[in-house]
A and B are shown apart, each in its own frame.
Chain A
C-alpha cells in the first residue's frame, strides 16, 4: 500500500530560527500533497495544497512567507517554518495523493516545539 514518510517526528527549536519538515511518498508518485496543522485536542486544519512543479495554494489566514512549501519532485514536499515563534508550536501533518487511485495517505506527523 501507499506509504508517506514524514521527518522529523519531533523537533525543538529556538525562537527566531527556521525548521524544515519533509514529506516523502515512498512507493508512489504524489502529484498533490497537503499540509495540515493540529493543535492539542483539535481537528486538523488545512494549511496549504502543493502540486508538483507549481506554487502552493495557501488557505486563508496562513502566511505564505512564514510557511514555505516546496514540492520540487513527485516524491518530496517540504514545509519550512521560518522565524519560528512559540505560537507556531503544533503538530504538523502531511498528506499525499496520486493520480493512481491511492486516495489520501497521511504521514506520521511532526511535533514542533518552539522555545
Chain B
C-alpha cells in the first residue's frame, strides 16, 4: 500500500507486482517531463521521458502516462523487482531539455521479495 511519511510518500509492493507511481506537476506550460530513479547516496538516473505532444510512452518494463488536463504524470513499472527499490522523482521543464528542471517531491518504492 501507499503511505505518506514525514517528507517522502512510500509505496510498498511485492516482487512481481506492477507498480504505479504518481506525480502532480506544477506548471501547465511545461512541455517535457522526465522520470528519474535515485538509489541511496547516488545521483538521479534517467528512466524515461515524454513530451507534451504525447500521452503515453513505453520503455523496457516502464510506461509513462501524461494527462495534461489535470497536470498528472504516472510511471508504471511492470513485474517490479527488488532492484527497483529506490526513490522515484518526476521532473518538468520548458523546452527541449536546455532549461532548468523542477523536481517533484518523490516517492520511495519498496519491493519485498
Contacts and interface: CB of A to CB of B under 8 A. Distances in A.
Contacts of B46: 103-105
A109 B101 contact: no
A93 interface: yes
B35 interface: no
A34 interface: yes
B34 A104 contact: yes
Contacts of B42: 108-109
A106 interface: yes
Contact of A49 (B8, B36, B100, B104): B100
Interface in A54-110: 91, 93, 95, 97, 99, 101, 103-109
B97 A103 contact: yes
Nearest to B45: A106
B97 A46 contact: no
Contact of A109 (B7, B43, B89): B43
| Interface majority SS (helix, strand, loop, mixed), chain B | loop
B97 A44 contact: no
Contacts of B104: 43
Contacts of B6: 41
Interface centre among A6, A41, A101, A107 (most CB of B within 10 A): A41
A103 B34 CA distance: 11
Interface string B30-51: 0000101000011111100100
Nearest to B90: A43
Interface of A: 4, 6, 32, 34, 40-46, 49, 91, 93, 95, 97, 99, 101, 103-109, 111
10 contacts: A32-B98, A34-B100, A41-B6, A41-B8, A42-B106, A49-B100, A91-B41, A103-B46, A104-B34, A108-B42
Interface of B: 5-8, 34, 36, 41-46, 49, 89, 97-98, 100-106
Given A91-B41, A104-B97, 20 more contacts: A4-B43, A34-B101, A41-B8, A42-B8, A42-B105, A42-B106, A43-B89, A43-B104, A43-B105, A44-B103, A103-B46, A103-B97, A104-B46, A104-B101, A106-B43, A106-B44, A107-B43, A109-B41, A109-B42, A109-B43
